[in-house]
Structure 1
Amino acid sequence: MSTDLSGVMRPVAKANGLPNEHYTDERVFMEERDAVLYNNWSGIGTEADVPENGDAKPIEFIGMPLLLIRDTEGQVRVFQNTCRHRGMILVSEPKKIEGAIRCPYHSWCYSTKGKLVAQPHVGGPGMNTHKDMPKSELGLYEVPSYIWLGVIYVNASNTAPPFEDVHAELLERWKEFDVPMYHGGEDSRFELEVDTNWKLAVENYCESYHLPWVHPGLNSYSRLEDHYNIEEYGHYSGQGTLVYRQLKGQMGETFPDFPNLSDKWNEGGEYITVYPNVLLGVQRDHAFAIILEPKTVDTTTEHVHLFYAEPKVDEALRAKNATQWKGVFIEDIFVVEGMQKGRYGRAFDGGRFSPAMDGPTHCFHDWIARQITGHRQKMAAE
């Protein structure tokens, strides 16, 4: 199936949204997996998933088995979770690697850096080498990865330019937050299972237009008119607020601020999508990341993580903050699930965009359309 994306790439005032098939059709979902999620730098987890040397965590990224691991020197790496011998899954549940990563099938072993270190009986009983099976050529496939603001990004296809080049403008915009960030721990992470296509979660997050009706509590102090659009076509989009209110405890305590922030952040916050699938929010005293895991064409898991300026912050205040944000994000669920159901309306043409209010969402649609169009052109030329 090849959908018509020409209307999506028009200027915002004349554009239509992505066609329904991009939310309902399994074949298009697979096309987007390759063109958008595999070909770009997608978020898959956080450093906090493997906090100590030797920690390993298996994940599945839209069907691709991956292994997050912190090697013996403390570097976070991502490998395909597949033995180079017969393709067996190496690690099936989170664990501490003691010594080496051992395949449970024929006991081939790999170091935490991915090097093949043992091949028992590969040359016959008692013969642990074979001239046609060189260890140096049979290490694990390492997937290009990059860590920014605590989130682990991968380029599954190994075809994207370096992360620093792709996101240079965003890294510059938020360079004040390029400081150590500390995950709040188990009470600062939660998951939301949502019956929607992953893109609808991005679209909703990008804009502030819905605040008065969907988030009346938030809108009571950070009003619609206090927000501004962030539209960097071809790069990222989102929204910002001029009125960020610090959370306070019973005795007026607050979280410590990130160091050396400019005055902009005294009462401001920004909420941006790192295309394609990571929703980031930064404020003076904490940050959050929502990593969208597309499960099927119409189901998504939202992995939410909260980060702070210091490794230890007030426990009660931290729990209160997690509860508050969880409440805000839950308020969005009926919206993104409702839009998913609406995409089965056969006469729906992708919808229109308010030039004043929907620019960030159109920015995302335009980027998706151009990723797919470029992928189709490349495939046709091969």
Structure 2
Amino acid sequence: MTRSSRKARVLRTAPGLYVWVLSWALVEVAASADLKPAPASQEKAQSFGRRFVGLDKCNVCVGTSMCQKLYKGDIRFSPRLSSHAELPPANQRSYLGNLTDDSGTWRPVVLSRLLSPMAQRLYDRHICTSAGHEPSCSVENVLRATPRFQVWTKSHLLLPPMVKCLSAPLLRCPSQRLLDRVVQRYTEVRDVGTVQMKHFSEKDKLRLLYTLAANQHSLVLQMFPGPEGWPFPRYHGSCGRVVVWAGTRPLSSLYSSPLERRADAAYQLLHIAQSLASNSLQFQLYYTSVSAEMFGYAEDCRVFVVDTSTIGVIDLLAAHARDLLPATRSVHPRASPSCVKMSSLSCSPPVTCDLLTCPAMWPGTCLSAQTLASLTAPFSMQHVL
């Protein structure tokens, strides 16, 4: 029997089946065609994703080290949102998500902007208007034309005069060794590990300058990484103006936990303060302000400082360090009338680190007794009775 005769026999014996199979195939083809978004919708989704993470504002951004994972779908905002075309509301500052690696396992992460969306818009407008431009000007063009950035482009080292008047607590008394560590641990460039910026392009320098000016949090996570024993979450990278670090749970969620677990968290808070004050690198880290929202804990119950935007750093090997140290090295000295809040440091008249007294420089230390009392109030026996 020939092939054509067999086909004719099938049509005669089962015409209904043939029509059903043909109809089913056509339906599947049509459905698959509907599932593929039109080029216009794909372009719209990609454009929305760029605006969502702030890539459209680069190079006035943090970096692009995590963009590939974000757009590959290796980072998901929730189990239901598996692609960058499905994004959560853009009016939030931070989001919980999950990150996968080559092993196929998923780890909790936090995706956060350095500033809230409203604060970021005001920040950009201020840069434009302060330079005499329209509020919607190109922030990158304005920053590139500033005298500060012109100095940055010509220097192979990050020098103390180059960060003068930047408001980050990290930079209140910058030593050369501290700034060298900023550059040496800056992972948003390819060649990491050198204190020189010869391999930095102009866009790299602009991104570093923006990060120092906007929010120091991502830089502290890189300078003092959690995997090396520092009480900070692991830094994964950034995409545009969104930073990704290891996920934690808020410390407040422990308030209803058993007493033993809460007591352990309180002990870890005290130990963190001690480790920040005394370490082998001879950098003394201190709180300029303290709140419960600054802390979180991981699945293994380890407590971390999850917001480092208010942490100051003193280089103990610098010449001016002896003038900044308190009379006692106690981690939690009793609060005294001499403990006062630090006044804002303006650039006019100039203020040098040598003129800063201990009470003015160490509000986090002076006020730590009251602050930790408020943090550990939920850990008291009175709370559980």
Pick the TM interval, shorter chain. Answer: under 0.3
The answer to which structure has the higher helix fraction is: 2
The answer to which structure has the higher strand fraction is: 1
User: Rg bigger for which structure?
Assistant: 2
Task: Give the alignment's TM-score, normalised by structure 2.
Answer: 0.22
Higher relative contact order (CA 8 A, sep 6+): 1
Task: Give the alignment's TM-score, normalised by structure 1.
Answer: 0.22
